[in-house]
Chain A
């Protein structure tokens, strides 16, 4: 059974701090890695879809890296703002069948 792990489970930072969290997945089964941002009472919003080892993607203050050989992806937030408070989910696509396997998420709280 494929499993996706995220750490830490939760994180509290001060406004302006930079932070990062990890998504780990089995390196033997990889097709794509998705990152989603999920604010309370809203729907998950796609941040990145990453496919290539060594990929690095950026959207504003948020960036992500991917290492498919060792099975991890990092999500970085530079200069956290209160509006970044959300749960950040990663999901593994382990084949071309489009079934995503989800992590439990990292809950980020940014204090003003």
Chain B
């Protein structure tokens, strides 16, 4: 069964360093998302991506963050100059349609910023 894959599963980094989280969405899906969950808090939407551009982003997704789909399969989230409060589980998701398509999630990348 097709699945969304994410790497790395866990990354530890020093404050101020840049981090790239990678995702391979399901191949026939057109919409891609990044979510995060800080321990004990709600799942938070970061950004949605369609047709090679951001379709929506939350207030969390400031200039520190960027996304791209460099090669038609990978979907990456870059966090520049990480802060302690960026420590969270980051989930990539994809869906086949915009309307009411269910999201298929990857298993997440745990980011720990020291």
Contact = CB atoms under 8 A, between A and B. Distances in A.
Interface residues of A, number: 24
Report, as a range, how many residues of chain B touch the other chain. Answer: 20 to 34
Interface stretch (B11-19, B62-70, B75-83, B100-108): B100-108
B43 interface: yes
Contact of B91 (A43, A49, A98): A43
A104 B42 CA distance: 5
Interface in B33-79: 33, 41-45, 48, 55-56, 58
Given A43-B105, A43-B106, A49 B100 contact: yes
Residue of A36, A43, A89 with highest tally of chain B CB at under 10 A: A43
Interface of A: 31-32, 34, 36, 41-46, 49, 51, 89, 91, 93, 96-104
